[in-house]
Chain A
């Protein structure tokens, strides 16, 4: 191959970045090993070394961040990452979003947070510290390997995908475009002067904050996992529970808020008209949350009673493993067609699988205390996994399927055996206090509640994992629709809410039931009353919705009442009441905003695809909605949409590239008057991206979304041209005779050089009229003539002035007119009303606040001793 010296490349940031990546990886390996060997007995000197290595590791991660940001900021498009995710016109605040548009960036983010948490834990010097940091540093090794981008010699396999790869190396085709054949490949940067740009949908303030929050939540999940493993490793029974509780509180709080931020973003800028769609990506983030919430309650039980230590270990470990599973699901490309999210498969699926299995192996390895079996698992498990992973990345897809079918029962057997063995040994390791939970004890209700959370998880995980099951066992099942999730989760949530409403009123171990009678009677009667009133106000018909509403209301009332009754303990210790009541508010918001969602744009125009009356001859609203969700609205022709008169008054082209079209829609009636501005972007690379616009009220939102607009119609060209000679004020007809023109006046055109005249032409077609402004220019030196035609599609009229012929009385003009069928601008849009959707956000904030208060309080207790 010829050697080309490429021009104008800035290579030092890439080299620096690579250096940081490798340094972070090596330092993480070093600190993992040293922390591990000190996990049972600490050697001061070695510990100091390990700490330094971990700090170097974290500093390198920060270094990677800064280097990559510099590359994006300085628009160095010789780097693939900058070219793919950024562009010259990208505002500074969205340059941060570039980090998480690409997978490498999101691994980096995760690494940053894990490192950050490690730096906090580094300062503790208790018996858990080395073990916990060994696990955390090992997580950094695994995450760091995703960024390595190092080719394995001989095998056609690359470990990780580096964000510092050069464009010309990562996609060699970039040099093979025709235009470079002439210029020479060396000068390729003269062509690649601008990047691909950030996906419009990610250019949203919420996308700046949502991924870091979510990844912080994911990153915190490793801490309880690490404490659990370390506790088993150093044979601690109870001491580990306190830090595990604090970190699981932080995890549930932050992950929950992070998930809902994603919901808010989806609601504000995606087209599906809602904040939750049971999409696999959303589900994947929900899985660890559900388990972590259950695990946290187990830890509470264990701390108070000494029981459920096994449950605490099991669920905390499972929670982190589910984070890894979720990562595998969303990043390996396995979900493919099942999701509306797009997945870029970086070829990391094998590595992600390895990541997951390695941590499962660590869990097994720490837990098993039978020496012989340990030896079998220690070597057998990795060999088997390596074999499977290698096979799955080397075999072609067709053979893989056959392989999956052939080993189906082996896979099921191995899976069951590992889970069974793991549970058996974990139970053996964790000697809990014996005895039965009394049904009058708080722990009893918490235990049932946690189990119900897991039940809810079972439905979500088994539905979301269908693509995985298809792949492993060779099935061909389709992923269920969102409606199915709603139908099941509606009933799953009710008993959970019951536990949340009741749980706190019980004391640990045993409760005097007589004391509960009065508060429960009060909260029950208030809740029933409120439920009845709201059911009537909101016109709930289905018993499921009414019951759901009742449980959510009771949850709010009961916890508020508990908060008031126990206000002496102070705000700082009321985190659970706040979080529980907040969850109730969230649930009320969910049920009312979805059951009472109104499709305002529904109209009775058009064809009915399915019958709109049910068997009883009544109007079937869901069938009606099915048939007519979208409304056409012509420019300047007001129409009645729901309770509003809506006028599409104007549209403008915006954005640096001139591909954003903003529609100005005025909504008004006798009480309200507002404007919304839904936008569509005709992106040459990504097709049409629509961004909804929502008017927020305290008690409702009006959501508008343009699904189609006249600009997408095929444009008919003008035809039937006719040339005439006329004078000012003379009326003449188009060739079909349908349009009447009159030249009213002419004036010197502003802002055009030379002799330039702007004409005012009046056009009339039936009852429609309009003005056209053609322009005629002549260069005084060369005498070159230029005419700028004017057209008005609403009238189907086009006119251009070809020649000005001066004569004794003034001038006559040679004019060409063309015509076509008049076309009116229009939008096809959906208008939805979400009542009380603000309760969803309020509830989320309260839940987050509750967890924050609890975590802070638990941490403070520790400081106070």
Chain B
């Protein structure tokens, strides 16, 4: 067998290993209940939750007390609500009705601790005459 073939096989094996571990390691989109269950098994595992802002509850952000502390409530697709804590300033588009929010983080005790929030305002690129 050629030397180069052996090395190529090794590289291919590493490649397969990378892909398998990658897919084995991916998180799924879950609801808040799912996030709670995952946190019980593995408190550090990141999950993705797709939800909408709960407009009936207030958004707390008071930068004069803490510029890195935001609390709001959201409802997932199964209609389960949760308190969300985020360690960054309030995203500017938050609070505009009906926008979907993607939360990335983990569940802690009574709240979801978000590392990252990606929000997409559905009206963002829609045309509306002034």
Contact flags B90-119 to A (C-beta < 8 A → 1, else 0): 101100100010101000000001011010
Residues 456-513 of A at the B interface (beta carbon under 8 Å): 458-459, 462-463, 466, 476-481, 484, 488
Given A455-B11, A707-B88, A708-B89: A174 in contact with B102 (beta carbons within 8 A): no
A627 within 8 A of B: yes
CB distance from B13 to the nearest CB of A (A): 10
Q: Kindly report which residue of chain A lies nearest to residue B118, judged by CB atoms.
A: A340
Q: Which one of A171, A478, A626, A828 has the greatest number of beta carbons of chain B within 10 Å?
A: A478
Residues 663-703 of A at the B interface (beta carbon under 8 Å): 684-688, 690
Residues 41-75 of B at the A interface (beta carbon under 8 Å): 46-48, 50, 61, 63-69
State the CA gap A666–B66 with chains docked (Å): 23
Q: Tell whether, in the assembled complex, residue B29 and residue A687 are in contact, meaning their CB atoms are under 8 Å apart.
A: no
Q: Kindly report which residue of chain A lies nearest to residue B99, judged by CB atoms.
A: A687
Q: Kindly report which residue of chain B lies nearest to residue A684, judged by CB atoms.
A: B130
Q: Kindly report which residue of chain A lies nearest to residue B116, judged by CB atoms.
A: A481
Q: Tell whether, in the assembled complex, residue B46 and residue A627 are in contact, meaning their CB atoms are under 8 Å apart.
A: no
CB distance from A106 to the nearest CB of B (A): 15
Residues of chain A within 8 A (CB-CB) of B8 are 447-448, 451
Q: Tell whether, in the assembled complex, residue B26 and residue A629 are in contact, meaning their CB atoms are under 8 Å apart.
A: no
Contact flags B1-44 to A (C-beta < 8 A → 1, else 0): 01110011001001100110011011111000000000000000
Q: Kindly report which residue of chain B lies nearest to residue A627, judged by CB atoms.
A: B87
Q: Tell whether, in the assembled complex, residue A630 and residue B88 are in contact, meaning their CB atoms are under 8 Å apart.
A: yes
Q: Tell whether, in the assembled complex, residue B68 and residue A685 are in contact, meaning their CB atoms are under 8 Å apart.
A: no
Residues 580-618 of A at the B interface (beta carbon under 8 Å): 605-607, 609-610
Q: Tell whether, in the assembled complex, residue B120 and residue A481 are in contact, meaning their CB atoms are under 8 Å apart.
A: no
Give which listed residue, B26, B63, B129, contacts A192 with CB less than 8 A: B129
CB distance from A495 to the nearest CB of B (A): 9
Q: Kindly report which residue of chain A lies nearest to residue B64, judged by CB atoms.
A: A632
State the CA gap A826–B65 with chains docked (Å): 13
CB distance from A493 to the nearest CB of B (A): 14
A628 within 8 A of B: yes
Residues of chain B within 8 A (CB-CB) of A439 are 3
Given A606-B67, A629-B87, A630-B88: A174 in contact with B129 (beta carbons within 8 A): yes
Residues of chain A within 8 A (CB-CB) of B90 are 708, 712
Residues of chain B within 8 A (CB-CB) of A631 are 67
Q: Tell whether, in the assembled complex, residue B121 and residue A687 are in contact, meaning their CB atoms are under 8 Å apart.
A: yes
Q: Kindly report which residue of chain A lies nearest to residue B93, judged by CB atoms.
A: A687
Chain B interface size, as a band, is 35 or more
Q: Tell whether, in the assembled complex, residue A630 and residue B68 are in contact, meaning their CB atoms are under 8 Å apart.
A: yes
Contact flags A703-716 to B (C-beta < 8 A → 1, else 0): 00001100010000
State the CA gap A330–B64 with chains docked (Å): 41
Residues of chain A within 8 A (CB-CB) of B15 are 454-455, 458
A237 within 8 A of B: no
CB distance from B118 to the nearest CB of A (A): 6
Q: Kindly report which residue of chain A lies nearest to residue B96, judged by CB atoms.
A: A687
Residues of chain A within 8 A (CB-CB) of B118 are 337, 340
Q: Tell whether, in the assembled complex, residue B4 and residue A630 are in contact, meaning their CB atoms are under 8 Å apart.
A: no
Q: Kindly report which residue of chain B lies nearest to residue A339, judged by CB atoms.
A: B118
Q: Tell whether, in the assembled complex, residue B69 and residue A606 are in contact, meaning their CB atoms are under 8 Å apart.
A: yes
CB distance from B127 to the nearest CB of A (A): 6
CB distance from A584 to the nearest CB of B (A): 22
Q: Tell whether, in the assembled complex, residue B4 and residue A448 are in contact, meaning their CB atoms are under 8 Å apart.
A: yes
Given A630-B68, A687-B96: A342 in contact with B88 (beta carbons within 8 A): no
Residues of chain A within 8 A (CB-CB) of B48 are 478
CB distance from A86 to the nearest CB of B (A): 13
Q: Tell whether, in the assembled complex, residue A478 and residue B11 are in contact, meaning their CB atoms are under 8 Å apart.
A: no
Residues of chain B within 8 A (CB-CB) of A174 are 127, 129
Q: Tell whether, in the assembled complex, residue A688 and residue B92 are in contact, meaning their CB atoms are under 8 Å apart.
A: yes
CB distance from A417 to the nearest CB of B (A): 19
For chain A, the count of residues having a C-beta within 8 Å of the partner chain is 59
Give which listed residue, A459, A481, A684, contacts B18 with CB less than 8 A: A459
A196 within 8 A of B: yes
A437 within 8 A of B: yes
B78 within 8 A of A: no
CB distance from A658 to the nearest CB of B (A): 14
Q: Tell whether, in the assembled complex, residue B68 and residue A171 are in contact, meaning their CB atoms are under 8 Å apart.
A: no
Q: Tell whether, in the assembled complex, residue A477 and residue B7 are in contact, meaning their CB atoms are under 8 Å apart.
A: no
Give which listed residue, B28, B85, B96, contacts A478 with CB less than 8 A: B28
Q: Kindly report which residue of chain B lies nearest to residue A452, judged by CB atoms.
A: B11
A537 within 8 A of B: no
Residues of chain A within 8 A (CB-CB) of B19 are 458-459, 462
Given A452-B11, A459-B22, A606-B65: A436 in contact with B4 (beta carbons within 8 A): yes
CB distance from A637 to the nearest CB of B (A): 12
Q: Tell whether, in the assembled complex, residue A628 and residue B68 are in contact, meaning their CB atoms are under 8 Å apart.
A: yes
Contact flags A169-211 to B (C-beta < 8 A → 1, else 0): 0010010010000000000000110101000000000000000
Give which listed residue, A177, A463, A607, contacts B129 with CB less than 8 A: A177
Residues of chain B within 8 A (CB-CB) of A626 are 87, 115
Given A688-B92, A826-B63: A458 in contact with B26 (beta carbons within 8 A): no
Give which listed residue, B2, B11, B50, B85, contacts A337 with CB less than 8 A: B50
Residues of chain B within 8 A (CB-CB) of A826 are 63-64
State the CA gap A451–B66 with chains docked (Å): 50
CB distance from B25 to the nearest CB of A (A): 8
Residues of chain B within 8 A (CB-CB) of A708 are 61, 63, 67, 89-90, 92
Q: Tell whether, in the assembled complex, residue A458 and residue B18 are in contact, meaning their CB atoms are under 8 Å apart.
A: yes
Residues of chain B within 8 A (CB-CB) of A630 are 67-68, 88-89
Contact flags A811-832 to B (C-beta < 8 A → 1, else 0): 0000000000000001010000
Residues of chain B within 8 A (CB-CB) of A466 are 26
Residues of chain B within 8 A (CB-CB) of A429 are none
State the CA gap A126–B14 with chains docked (Å): 43
Q: Tell whether, in the assembled complex, residue B18 and residue A436 are in contact, meaning their CB atoms are under 8 Å apart.
A: no
Q: Tell whether, in the assembled complex, residue A444 and residue B4 are in contact, meaning their CB atoms are under 8 Å apart.
A: yes
Q: Tell whether, in the assembled complex, residue B14 and residue A84 are in contact, meaning their CB atoms are under 8 Å apart.
A: no
Q: Tell whether, in the assembled complex, residue A436 and residue B104 are in contact, meaning their CB atoms are under 8 Å apart.
A: no
CB distance from A640 to the nearest CB of B (A): 15
Residues of chain A within 8 A (CB-CB) of B87 are 609, 626-629
State the CA gap A606–B70 with chains docked (Å): 12
Q: Tell whether, in the assembled complex, residue B63 and residue A342 are in contact, meaning their CB atoms are under 8 Å apart.
A: no
CB distance from B129 to the nearest CB of A (A): 6
Give which listed residue, A463, A606, A688, contacts B22 with CB less than 8 A: A463
Residues of chain B within 8 A (CB-CB) of A196 are 127
State the CA gap A606–B3 with chains docked (Å): 60
Give which listed residue, B3, B26, B61, contacts A477 with CB less than 8 A: B26
CB distance from A551 to the nearest CB of B (A): 17
Residues of chain A within 8 A (CB-CB) of B7 are 448, 451
Q: Report A's interface with B, CB cutoff 8 A.
A: 83-84, 171, 174, 177, 191-192, 194, 196, 337, 340, 342, 344, 436-437, 439, 444, 447-448, 451-452, 454-455, 458-459, 462-463, 466, 476-481, 484, 488, 605-607, 609-610, 626-632, 684-688, 690, 707-708, 712, 826, 828
CB-CB nearest 3 A-B residue pairs: A688-B92, A606-B66, A707-B89
Q: List 5 A-B contacts (CB under 8 A).
A: A83-B127, A478-B28, A605-B66, A628-B67, A685-B128
Given A606-B67, A826-B63: 13 more A-B contacts, CB < 8 Å: A337-B102, A447-B4, A448-B11, A455-B18, A458-B19, A478-B48, A609-B69, A610-B113, A627-B68, A630-B89, A707-B88, A708-B63, A708-B89
